[in-house]
Amino acid sequence: MRPPASRRGSERGSASVEAAIAVPAFALFVGLIIFGGRTTVAHQAVESAAVDAARSASLARTRSTAETAAAAAATNSLANQNVACVKVTVKVDTAAFAAAVGQNAAVHVTVGCLLDLEDLAVPGVPGKRTLEARASSSLDTWRERS
């Protein structure tokens, strides 16, 4: 029977092997946390931009100014929140402007943001991700529309 000291000697170098396995796994875990955080913050910013765009569109008097106001509001909102979208899309449903005065109507806006995540370099994480949000805002029931 061998003494216990010789058994401990056989574990020599195991810390290096454990570090070689644990460090990349920990780095991947941190990368996924950063990915989740950036995606969540960007999605909240896109939702806020959609609300701002819908409100701006509902204050406009015409369809064309509603579309222009919505696009400007969404772009400004995302810029103010420091969200770096590769591409911003704003779709405005202005069918409510055709409703007669006295009828309830609402403008619907969808804001999309193409988010660049290539700098994370985490395996399994897409390089770009599209985030979308939709919001509505009521038109003034008694205001003239065109």
Confirm whether pTM is higher than 0.85: no
Q: How many whole angstroms separate alpha carbon 21 and alpha carbon 29?
A: 13
Q: Are 67 and 107 in contact (CB under 8 A)?
A: no
The residues spanned by each domain of the chain are 14-139
Q: Using one digit for the tens of pLDDT, what is the confidence trace for 46-104?
A: 999 999 999 999 999 999 999 999 999 999 999 999 998 999 999 999 999 999 888 99
Tokens of 136: 């509505």
> In terms of Cα–Cα distance, which of 96, 98, 51, 97 is closest to 70?
51
Q: In angstroms, what CA-CA distances link 24 with 15, 37, 102, 121, 141?
A: 14, 20, 64, 13, 60
